[in-house]
């Protein structure tokens, strides 16, 4: 809304202000190009007020929908059989969130917050509620008409934060928690097979949907001797993990800009006067499973050090539209809730399985980003992470104006040493999920008095690396953050070394190596993401084309021509060769011994590579994959001359980038649509490149899915089109830059 709105006094309907002093609320919201809000206030409460109001202007319905979800009320309003945006059945989702966000857990989290954070959260709720009231029930966007849209409270914001915390742990096991029931003699377990298939896929996709790239460049390699940062988080384009851009200022106290997740009144990825930082999903484990040995007389009791202990029972009741309320019992051991996954984690007469999530004890997460937002140097930022240990399930990469770069794998990780793993885990379970023996209290997580929370590793025991050349990360372990200083020797729960790197990491390391002889510039970092090179094509294309040259089958010749003509990129104008390459490699990566040169831990940057086409098994698999790809392309109705931009879209906007499995740095996950196109659902989200000079930070960015989720908003797809055209825009940061912006508009709100 343009113009100045002064002096409209509204009652703040549903503010939870326990422990928070009421008083005048005011905020100054300036917007620049793409509608980016620059929110300024004199105190924490006013700042929260401005954030909540601006966020509601752009994403009223999105937040309202997420509030219903985290309150476990989806079945009540939309029916039991409907599903969430994440394809989770409403009833399952409600049972999970009612269990997670109990009044006791929410109150304890609130009480653990500093007075400043309480003020900011109270302000956020008041700001959102003010805008909701201004719009009125009739004037709301179509997507949020209905009784389920209501004023929010600070409790709702706490619940949203707790949902974020468990995303890397028990949040992935909602179906398994909601479906866990004790075995009954002669009664087969009934489970929704489809729901577990979807849940399995979601677990596998967790790092894909929330993957990320990051490069922090230090003085030795940057063009001006200062720090530089590339932030390229890959996050969902819809729902509760969709980033929002904002600039927050309290004069003399705070000046920070970047991107935040819905309902959070802090910047998660961004920069201030001196420091820029970003996050990438880490490979550390944030939960462990415990195998409980059951009392042979009663499957609801388990044996611990030889004693029979009853499982704790919690009744969870969920309201259901047009039906009776649904009540379910959630069982827990001292190691956490019992989870049951048919065929993987079966609750039978002998064993049951509990899940312990380290982030359920993390009430420091908001304070952590609050401290990072205020950091005055890299050292300062690092010290805050060491002190608070509030980062849930991501790495942190940062650079500052003094030319230092830093990598930290410092998140909340269960304190399970390699020795304890050896003594307490079943080696057959592997390291994908850590499974400990719940029959012995000696297998509980170790307590380190130096850690910010009982049962997690202390910060000093976790991987970190400060450099003057660079550090990088693309969702592998900490090992190769910089090959000149490998990070090795940690508990496998924290980080594994001497294992194969993903294709995106190899691409980044190669690109940084190629730039060895010259200073790294902003353009270099931009190209890393946006030239859309398919790294894997460079590793296997010579063998593919050699195989092609040996074929006489006409059907294969068409495919081979398309591969040959393809530019080995995932740009809008890249041809059908990309589609064939993707489909063929998807098949081949399932074939054992497919690589010409197998992975060699001494050469992690260059292996595996090549295809062993001389092997009959590989040649047959390759031929089958090619024929299947031709059939698939024909079925999809893709004609000669079709380009990637005709296939992958966001709404009607063509989208570059592609599957991360191919080593495309600009990773995009897209799903088939009814019209034969593919809709982007996650991938590059908030793209930010920050440098520093004597005047402070200089940042360029694009929010790939745009600021607003409301189709009627002018900010619904403006940045999406800019991203499609590969255009980043400078971010106005100083007062002078903000006021000089051609799109500048101002709104004062107070009550």
List the catalytic residues.
Answer: 212
**Rounded-to-integer distance, Cα 683 and Cα 421, Å:** 34
* CB 471, CB 482: distance < 8 Å: yes
Closest residue by Cα to residue 583 from 676, 680, 658, 528 = 658
* CB 171, CB 163: distance < 8 Å: yes
**Rounded-to-integer distance, Cα 48 and Cα 709, Å:** 21
Q: DSSP string of 264-279?
A: -SS-SEEEESSEEEEE
Report the number of secondary-structure helices (H) and strands (E) in the chain: 20, 30
Burial of 193 from C-beta contacts in 10 A (0-12 / 13-18 / 19+): exposed
Give the phi and the psi of residue 155 in degrees, each rounded to 5.
-55, -40
Q: DSSP string of 303-326?
A: EETTEEEEPEEEEEEE--TTSPPE
Q: 324-332 long-range CB contacts below 8 Å, 24 or more apart?
A: 326/75, 326/80, 326/91, 326/95, 328/95, 328/178, 329/181, 330/95, 330/99, 330/177, 330/178, 330/180, 331/180, 331/182, 331/300
Burial of 685 from C-beta contacts in 10 A (0-12 / 13-18 / 19+): buried
* CB 347, CB 289: distance < 8 Å: no
Residues 6+ apart with CB under 8 A from 553: none
Placement of tokens 């000093």 in the chain: 460
Placement of tokens 């966007």 in the chain: 141
Number of Cα atoms under 13 Å in the Cβ half of residue 394: 29
Angle of the 577-588 helix axis to the 554-565 helix axis, nearest 10: 110
Residues 6+ apart with CB under 8 A from 463: 407, 408, 409, 478, 481, 487, 490, 494, 495
What single-letter DSSP state applies at residue 446?
P
CB atoms within 10 A of CB 302: 27
Number of Cα atoms under 13 Å in the Cβ half of residue 678: 21
Is residue 66 helix, strand or coil?
A: helix
Is residue 254 helix, strand or coil?
A: strand
Is residue 618 helix, strand or coil?
A: helix
* CB 261, CB 250: distance < 8 Å: no
**Rounded-to-integer distance, Cα 206 and Cα 236, Å:** 10
**Rounded-to-integer distance, Cα 450 and Cα 643, Å:** 56
Dihedral Cα 473, 479, 484, 485, nearest 10 deg = 110
């Amino acid at each position: 809304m343009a113009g100045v709105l002064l002096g409209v006094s509204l009652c703040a309907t549903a503010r939870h202000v326990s422990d928070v002093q009421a008083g005048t609320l005011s905020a100054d919201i300036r917007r620049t190009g793409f509608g980016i809000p620059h929110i300024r206030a004199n105190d924490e409460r006013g700042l929260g007020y401005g954030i909540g109001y601006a966020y509601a202007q752009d994403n009223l319905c999105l937040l309202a929908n997420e509030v219903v979800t985290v309150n476990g009320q989806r079945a009540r309003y939309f029916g039991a059989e409907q599903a969430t945006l994440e394809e989770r059945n409403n009833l399952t989702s409600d049972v999970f969130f009612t269990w997670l966000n109990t009044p006791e857990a929410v109150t304890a989290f609130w009480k653990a917050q500093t007075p400043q954070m309480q003020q900011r959260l109270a302000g956020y709720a008041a700001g959102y509620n003010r805008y909701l009231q201004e719009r009125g029930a009739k004037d709301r966007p179509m997507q949020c008409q209905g009784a389920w849209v209501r004023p929010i409270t600070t409790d709702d914001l706490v619940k949203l934060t707790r949902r974020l915390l468990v995303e890397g742990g028990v949040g992935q096991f909602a179906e398994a928690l909601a479906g866990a029931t004790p075995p009954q003699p002669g009664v087969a377990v009934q489970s929704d097979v489809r729901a577990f298939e979807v849940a399995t896929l979601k677990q596998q996709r967790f790092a894909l949907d929330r993957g990320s790239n990051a490069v922090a460049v230090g003085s030795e390699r940057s063009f001006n001797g200062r720090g530089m940062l590339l932030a390229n988080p890959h996050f969902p384009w819809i729902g509760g993990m969709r980033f929002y851009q904002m600039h927050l200022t309290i004069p003399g106290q705070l000046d920070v800009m970047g991107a935040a997740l819905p309902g959070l009144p802090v910047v998660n990825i961004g920069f201030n006067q001196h420091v820029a930082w970003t996050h990438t999903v880490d490979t550390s484990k944030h939960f462990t499973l415990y195998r409980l040995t059951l009392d042979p007389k009663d499957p609801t009791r388990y044996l611990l050090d030889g004693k029979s202990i009853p499982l704790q029972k919690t009744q969870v009741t969920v309201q259901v539209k047009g039906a009776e309320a649904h009540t379910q019992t959630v069982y827990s051991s001292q190691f956490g809730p019992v989870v049951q996954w048919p065929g993987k984690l079966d609750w039978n007469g002998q064993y049951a399985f509990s899940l312990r999530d380290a982030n359920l004890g993390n009430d420091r997460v908001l304070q952590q980003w609050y401290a990072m937002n205020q950091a005055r140097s890299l050292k300062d930022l690092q010290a805050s992470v060491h002190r608070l240990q509030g980062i849930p399930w991501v790495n942190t990469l940062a650079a500052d104006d003094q030319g230092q770069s830093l990598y930290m794998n410092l998140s909340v990780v269960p304190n399970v040493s390699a020795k304890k793993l050896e003594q307490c885990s079943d080696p057959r379970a592997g390291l994908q999920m850590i499974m400990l023996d719940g029959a012995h209290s000696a297998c509980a997580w170790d307590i380190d008095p130096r850690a910010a929370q009982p049962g997690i590793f202390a910060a000093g025991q976790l991987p970190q690396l400060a450099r003057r050349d660079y550090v990088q990360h693309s969702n592998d372990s900490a090992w190769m953050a910089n090959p000149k200083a490998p990070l090795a020797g940690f508990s496998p729960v924290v980080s594994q070394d001497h294992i194969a790197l993903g294709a995106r990491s190899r691409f980044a390391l190669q690109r940084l190596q190629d730039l060895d002889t010259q200073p790294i510039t902003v353009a270099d970092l931009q190209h890393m993401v946006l030239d859309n090179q398919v790294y894997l094509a460079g590793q296997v294309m010579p063998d593919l084309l050699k195989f092609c040259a040996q074929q006489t089958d006409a059907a294969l010749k068409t495919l081979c021509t398309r591969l040959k003509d393809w530019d080995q990129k995932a740009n809008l104008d890249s041809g059908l060769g990309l589609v064939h390459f993707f489909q063929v490699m998807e098949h081949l990566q399932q074939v054992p011994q497919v690589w010409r040169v197998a992975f060699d831990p001494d050469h992690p940057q260059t292996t595996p590579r090549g295809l062993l086409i001389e092997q009959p098994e590989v040649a047959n698999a390759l031929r089958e994959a090619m024929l299947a790809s031709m059939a698939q392309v024909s079925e999809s109705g893709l004609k000669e001359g079709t380009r990637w931009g005709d296939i992958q879209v966001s709404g009607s906007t063509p989208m570059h980038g592609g599957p991360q499995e191919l080593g495309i740095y600009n990773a995009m996950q897209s799903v088939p649509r009814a019209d034969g196109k593919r809709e982007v659902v996650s991938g590059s989200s908030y793209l930010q490149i920050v440098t520093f000079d004597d005047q402070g930070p200089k940042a360029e960015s694009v929010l790939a899915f745009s600021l607003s989720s409301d189709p009627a908003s002018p900010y619904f797809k403006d940045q999406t089109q800019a991203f499609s055209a590969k255009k980043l825009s400078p971010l106005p940061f100083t007062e002078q830059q903000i006021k000089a912006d051609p799109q500048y508009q101002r709104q004062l709100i107070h009550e």
